[in-house]
Amino acid sequence: MTDKKVCLFSKDHEWVELIEEDHVRVGISDYAVEQLGDIVFVELPEVDSEVLKEAEFGTVESVKSSSEVYSPVSGTVAKVNSELEDKPELLNEDAFAQGWLMEVKTPGPFSKADLMTYDEYETYIENL
């Protein structure tokens, strides 16, 4: 289970969990899920595809809107949470434990540049 207090966050409301020095898990924050409402569809990238930092890699659709998801890191998609294809509502149930979106192998050691700690992110969303 992912502990959101150890994750880093982007200004686009994605979270990153370090698995290994060059391997991370990516998802969207509770705040993003709350803004979307009841999620009904998730589009994820293909395994082995390349993702670029700050570029769109997927879509999350709810009953009230659709939102692109942006990668907080660059690298190669190592794994996707295929369970979300049949059960997108897992994001609503727990965006951290069950609702991760993809795992990415980064080209080198993971860089924390431009990402916020949990406390910094909480302050950030309070000021939106």
DSSP string, 28-69: E-HHHHHHH-SEEEEE-PPTT-EE-TTSEEEEEEESS-EEEE
Domain assignment present for residue 114? The answer is no
* Encoded tokens for 104: 């990415």
Domain assignment present for residue 47? The answer is yes
Domain assignment present for residue 44? The answer is yes
Q: Return the pLDDT at 15.
A: 97
Per-residue confidence in pLDDT tens, the chain, 128 aa = 578 889 999 999 999 999 999 999 999 999 999 999 999 999 999 999 999 999 999 999 999 899 999 999 999 999 999 999 999 999 999 999 889 999 999 998 888 989 999 999 999 999 99
Number of domains the chain is built from? 1
Burial of 64 (0-12, 13-18, 19+ CB in 10 A): exposed
User: Taking the CA atoms of the chain, what radius of gyration do you get in angstroms?
Assistant: 13
Domain assignment present for residue 125? The answer is no
Q: Return the pLDDT at 42.
A: 97
The one-letter amino acid at 34: E
Coil, strand, or helix at residue 113?
coil
CATH number for the domain that contains residue 51: 2.40.50.100
Scanning the structure block, which residue is given the tokens 């993003």?
32
Q: How many other CB atoms sit within 10 Å of the CB of residue 24?
A: 24
Range of the domain at 74: 4-107
Q: How far is CA 38 from CA 15, 49, 66, 85, in A?
A: 19, 28, 11, 15
Domain assignment present for residue 26? The answer is yes
* Encoded tokens for 91: 């994001």
